[in-house]
């Protein structure tokens, strides 16, 4: 059975084959520009942000500063890289959709069900990203609030890690599903039905986004890996009980 690691490893090999590289040039450039901008902002403001939030800690919790500081640090880092992922995928979505379609044809021998033209596909891809944001942002805001509640914030790093993995799964596995006319609600149902495959894949993609510079060249491979995961685990629809119909 295809797992997250082998899917991304094989996907990375696919996107760097001759004839496929043209589809990853623009996404890499977009990711580089966003990544450089974000790192510049973080470099200039990170210490100030951290100092501000630490100043909001009640004086009666000063004795826990040794624990609260690293928790704040981890949460802030998680938010920064979460923002990087959301922004880059919003901008690069049309390119990733085309890449996923090309990989599906070459790697699986199947044509995507999508019969839209290039222009409509690009516009619809941006609309789909906005739907994702409508799903993700309220949950991210709730988790952000939890991150500052004494006691509950002890679990915040773990919750952010799980949430980031789920968001990455939704983000990347949606490219081949959108190309095959799977609705957003149906896509989430399919991901939930194979929860471990979804979270392990999303978790690995999240780790990749944390690798400086290398992530720029590995994320297109994650798109191709999502196509392989789609073909192996999600193409068939789940039954109401959660089983996969063969």
The pLDDT assigned to 133 comes to 84
Beta bridge partners of 238: 244
pTM for the whole thing?
A: 0.76
Beta bridge partners of 244: 238
Residues of the chain with pLDDT under 70: 1, 50, 53-54, 56-58, 60-68, 75-76, 78, 81-82, 114-123, 238-246
The pLDDT assigned to 141 comes to 87
Distance CA 191, CA 193 (A): 5
Cβ–Cβ under 8 Å, residues 177 and 194: no
The pLDDT assigned to 194 comes to 93
The pLDDT assigned to 246 comes to 40
* Other CB atoms within 10 Å distance of the CB of residue 86: 18
Question: Under DSSP, is residue 238 helix (H, G, I), strand (E, B) or coil?
Answer: strand
What is the separation, in whole angstroms, between the first and last Cα of the chain? 15
Closest-CA residue to 226 (of 101, 127, 136): 101
Cβ–Cβ under 8 Å, residues 224 and 15: yes
Per DSSP, 60 falls in state: G
H and E: helices and strands count for the chain: 8, 0
The string of pLDDT tens digits covering residues 70-115 is: 777 776 676 776 677 777 777 777 788 888 888 999 888 888 876 6
Tell me the C-alpha to C-alpha distance, in Å, between residue 197 and each of 15, 42, 123, 170.
22, 33, 29, 12
The pLDDT assigned to 232 comes to 92
* Other CB atoms within 10 Å distance of the CB of residue 74: 16
Helix H or strand E encompassing 193: helix 184-193
Tell me the C-alpha to C-alpha distance, in Å, between residue 81 and each of 22, 86, 168, 215, 219.
27, 9, 12, 11, 14
How many alpha carbons fall within 13 Å on the CB side of residue 53? Answer: 20
Tell me the C-alpha to C-alpha distance, in Å, between residue 8 and each of 87, 148, 212, 218.
21, 35, 18, 8
């Amino acid at each position: 059975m295809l797992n997250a690691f082998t899917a991304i490893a094989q996907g990375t090999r696919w996107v760097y084959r001759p004839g496929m590289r043209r589809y990853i040039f623009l996404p890499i450039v977009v990711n580089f520009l966003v990544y450089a901008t974000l790192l510049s902002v973080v470099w200039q403001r990170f210490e100030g942000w951290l100092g501000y939030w630490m100043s909001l800690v009640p004086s009666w919790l000063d004795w826990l500063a040794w624990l609260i500081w690293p928790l704040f640090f981890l949460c802030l880092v998680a938010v920064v890289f979460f923002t990087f992922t959301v922004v880059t995928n919003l901008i690069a979505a049309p390119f990733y959709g085309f890449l996923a379609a090309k990989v599906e044809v070459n790697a699986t021998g199947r044509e995507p069900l999508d019969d839209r033209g290039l222009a409509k596909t690009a516009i619809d891809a941006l609309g789909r990203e906005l739907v994702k944001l409508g799903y993700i942002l309220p949950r991210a805001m709730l988790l952000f609030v939890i991150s500052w509640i004494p006691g509950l914030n002890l679990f915040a790093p773990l919750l952010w890690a799980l949430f980031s993995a789920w968001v990455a799964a939704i983000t990347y596995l949606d490219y081949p599903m959108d190309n095959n006319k799977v609705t957003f609600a149906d896509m989430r149902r399919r991901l939930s039905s194979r929860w471990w495959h979804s979270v392990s894949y999303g978790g690995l993609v999240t780790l990749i986004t944390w690798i400086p510079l290398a992530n720029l060249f590995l994320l297109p491979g994650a798109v191709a890996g999502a196509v392989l995961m789609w073909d192996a685990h999600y193409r068939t629809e789940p039954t109401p009980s959660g089983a996969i119909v063969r």
